[in-house]
Amino acid sequence: MKHDVIRCAGACRIGCHTATIGAIQGGLSDGFVKDTLQIEIAPRIIKAVDNLSKHVHGREDTIIEGHDEQDAAASGAIDVLGNFLDTYHECRSTILNAIQQELDDAAVDALLSDTIQEVDALATHHSVEEVYVGIHRCALLARTA
């Protein structure tokens, strides 16, 4: 029985890391996030998951009887949960901001390479003062089946 618990705890930890990273990346591959967006979120979120795991998974020696000890344990768990949620949102925002920047760059490149050439064919006397994307917002980042 004890070996089953240890094996489960290890598998659960790996599963928690994978599931959390997958949720943050919204189905984007690790390679895309790391190579294209140049973001490394795994170490930060793994540390947060491991810290949270220490507070929420029971062990043989984690039975706490005293009220003060219970309050301290609960307070510690709440603090670690808050840290995990903050880290999750920071990592998610970092990825969304990088995607928004990539989309902005792609829109400007498309405008400069395609649209301007077409305008140039129609109007010989024109100039482009500025190119920018006024509002961009990624509302949903999810994998579809």
pLDDT (tens digit per residue) in 71-122: 888 888 889 889 989 998 998 889 888 888 888 888 888 777 777 777 777 7
Chain position carrying tokens 């039975």: 63
Identify the top-confidence range among 3-17, 21-35, 88-102.
88-102
Q: How far is CA 29 from CA 21, 35, 36, 38, 137, in A?
A: 10, 10, 10, 12, 21
- Where in the chain are the domains? 2-122
Predicted local distance difference test score (pLDDT) of residue 58: 66
The predicted structure's pLDDT at residue 5: 37
- Long-range pairs for 135-144 at CB < 8 Å and ≥24 separation? 136/100, 136/103, 136/104, 137/100, 138/96, 138/99, 138/100, 138/103, 141/26, 141/27, 141/28, 141/95, 141/96, 141/99, 142/26, 142/27, 143/26, 143/27
Q: What's residue 119's pLDDT?
A: 76
User: For residue 75, which amino acid is it?
Assistant: S
Q: What is the per-residue pLDDT across 44-61, written as a single tens digit (0 to 9) for each?
A: 888 888 888 877 766 666
Count the Cβ atoms, other than its own, within 10 Å of residue 24.
Answer: 25
Whether the pLDDT of residue 11 is over 50: the answer is: no
What is the pTM for the complete model shown?
A: 0.63
Supply the pLDDT for residue 34. 87
pLDDT at residue 139 greater than cutoff 80: no
| The pLDDT of residue 131 | 66
Tell me the chain's radius of gyration from C-alpha atoms. 24
Residue 26 near residue 143 (C-beta atoms within 8 A): yes
| Interacting residues of 9 by C-beta distance below 8 A, sequence separation 6+ | 57
Please state, rounded to an integer, the average pLDDT across all residues of the chain: 75
